[in-house]
Each structure stands twice: as structure tokens, then as C-alpha cells.
């Protein structure tokens, strides 16, 4: 279903999402929800096999394609998650990204998916963003870290942590189908953030909250990611 009437000559746009064990489901499902409503959009969720992919939320996602039968992407999107560190060492996954990126109009990532783009050589010399807790690692893949929710550098679009995937999707819809279509989709999914706490980024969160979260989760997670990137 789309929120606007598509002209008869609206081109089909194939949007391929890479799936892998340990994916953060919202990195995938948030932009997928917005992009699926874009006129002409055809989505594919692709993994090494069609076996269910375990997410970080306690449920699994069933891919629509595997690497062998995946259509060529017009938009390639690589989500993130704690499973990225393992995926960095998987030659078939990196080769798939390289192969798809060659023919894609747009190459994109959400959260730590940026490091998979980087491992495939797609961020060398480019400006990029990722989840705030890992941004200091972007130079390890040749990228210049930018503190922003969405960063466009040529045909490469990277977005920050988790919920930034919606911002990236709406930005790209605006590029492809115009701002009126993007605004209609934003309205349809009622994306009108009014969070109960003004603390979704370290620039605004209480220092104690940021320090506690880093100590409990992200110091170790970033060190694990750094080790995988240097391997």
C-alpha cells in the first residue's frame, strides 16, 4: 500500500536489506516500513540462506531471498546490530555487499551496518555516521565520522543508531519521489517524535545515564567491534 497515487510511469525500485544473525530488528523494520510505502518499491530481505534469522529482540525474521537468488538492488541497505562483529569476518557476506553495491543506485546503512559497508571498501574517503558509541571507530574503515542522524556522501547514505533508520528512509524517499510523497508517508506512519525524555543522544542525555550505559554495554561492545575490524 502507498500513501500517494503513483503515476503510471513510476519506476520499480528494488530495495534489498541484508539480514544476518544478531541484527537489531528496528534497524531493518523501521526503514523497511517507510520504504515499503514508497510508490514502485519492491522489498527483499536477504541472508546467506532462507533459514529464519535470529534478531536481538527474541524473535526471528524469515528472509525472502538468499545470496544466490537475490535480485539486483537499486537501493542496498545494511542494518546493524551486535551481530555485525561476526559478520565482518564472513567472506560471503562481504562479497555479497560488494557485488550488490556495484550495480546499486544507492548504498545505505543503519547504525553499525556502516562497518560492513566499510569492510566492503565503500566508505573509503567518505563522510559517514553510525551509532554514537561506535563513531570513533569509523576511521578504521577509512571514513570521516560525522555527528549526524543521516549523512549523504554521493550515492552512499549512512544513518545513526537504530531509530535513525526512519530519518534515512524518509530522506531517500524525498530524493527519489519528492518531498510531498515523503511527507505523506511520514504522516501515514505518524512519525512525529515527542519522546518522554530529551535524552536520545549523549549531547542531551544526563552524563550519569550515558556513563552508566557505556559501562554496562557499549565500552565492551565497541572494544569487540574494534577487535573485529582490526582482525
Residue 7 pLDDT > 60: yes
Q: What are the structural domains of the chain? A: 13-197 (3.40.50.880)
Catalytic site includes residue 70: no
Average pLDDT over residues 1-8: 60
pLDDT tens for each residue of 94-129: 999 999 999 999 999 999 999 999 999 999 999 999
Q: Which helix (H) or strand (E) holds 54?
A: strand 53-54
Using a 10 angstrom Cβ sphere, with 0-12 exposed, 13-18 middle and 19 or more buried, the burial of residue 56 is middle
User: Which of 85, 87, 82, 86 is CA-nearest to residue 18?
Assistant: 87
Average pLDDT over residues 10-20: 96
Q: Which helix (H) or strand (E) holds 128?
A: strand 127-128
Distance in angstroms between the alpha carbons of the first and the last residue of the chain? 44
- The pLDDT of residue 38 is 98
Alpha carbon 116 to chain centroid, angstroms: 10
C-alpha cell at 24: 537489531
Confidence of residue 5 (pLDDT cuts 50, 70, 90): low
pLDDT tens for each residue of 147-192: 999 999 999 999 999 999 999 999 999 999 999 999 999 999 999 9
- The pLDDT of residue 181 is 98
- The pLDDT of residue 135 is 98
- The pLDDT of residue 162 is 96
C-alpha cell at 205: 542525555
Average pLDDT over residues 31-43: 98
Residue 218 pLDDT > 70: yes
Q: Which helix (H) or strand (E) holds 226?
A: helix 219-230
Residue 1 pLDDT > 90: no
Indicate which residue of 32, 111, 157, 185 is catalytic. 111
C-alpha cell at 85: 562483529
- The pLDDT of residue 9 is 82
Give the sign of the dihedral formed by CA 228, CA 137, CA 73, CA 181.
positive
Q: What is the mean pLDDT of the chain?
A: 96
Question: What pTM value is reported for the model?
Answer: 0.95
Residue 40's CB is within 10 A of a number of other CB atoms, namely 16
DSSP 88-111: TT-HHHHHHHHHHHHH-SEEEEET
Amino acid at each position: 500500500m502507498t500513501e500517494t497515487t503513483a503515476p503510471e510511469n513510476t519506476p520499480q525500485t528494488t530495495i534489498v536489506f541484508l539480514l544476518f544473525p544478531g541484527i537489531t530488528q528496528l534497524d531493518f523494520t523501521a526503514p523497511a516500513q517507510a520504504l515499503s510505502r514508497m510508490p514502485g518499491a519492491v522489498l527483499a530481505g536477504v541472508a546467506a540462506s532462507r533459514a529464519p534469522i535470529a534478531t536481538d529482540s527474541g524473535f526471528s525474521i524469515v528472509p525472502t531471498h538468499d545470496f544466490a537468488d537475490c535480485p539486483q538492488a537499486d537501493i542496498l541497505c545494511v542494518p546493524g546490530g551486535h551481530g555485525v562483529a561476526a559478520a565482518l569476518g564472513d567472506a560471503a557476506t562481504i562479497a555479497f555487499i560488494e557485488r550488490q553495491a556495484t550495480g546499486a543506485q544507492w548504498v545505505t546503512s543503519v547504525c553499525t551496518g556502516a562497518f560492513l559497508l566499510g569492510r566492503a571498501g565503500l566508505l573509503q574517503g567518505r563522510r559517514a555516521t553510525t551509532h554514537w558509541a561506535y563513531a570513533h571507530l569509523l576511521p578504521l574503515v577509512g571514513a570521516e565520522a560525522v555527528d549526524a542522524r543521516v549523512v549523504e556522501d554521493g550515492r552512499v547514505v549512512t544513518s545513526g543508531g537504530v531509530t535513525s533508520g526512519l530519518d534515512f528512509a524518509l530522506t531517500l524517499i524525498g530524493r527519489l519521489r519528492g518531498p510531498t510523497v515523503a511527507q505523506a508517508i511520514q504522516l501515514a506512519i505518524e512519525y512525529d517524535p515527542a519522546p518522554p525524555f530529551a535524552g536520545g543522544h549523549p549531547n542531551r542525555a544526563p552524563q550519569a545515564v550515558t556513563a552508566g550505559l557505556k559501562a554496562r554495554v557499549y565500552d565492551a561492545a565497541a572494544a569487540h567491534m574494534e577487535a573485529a575490524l582490526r582482525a
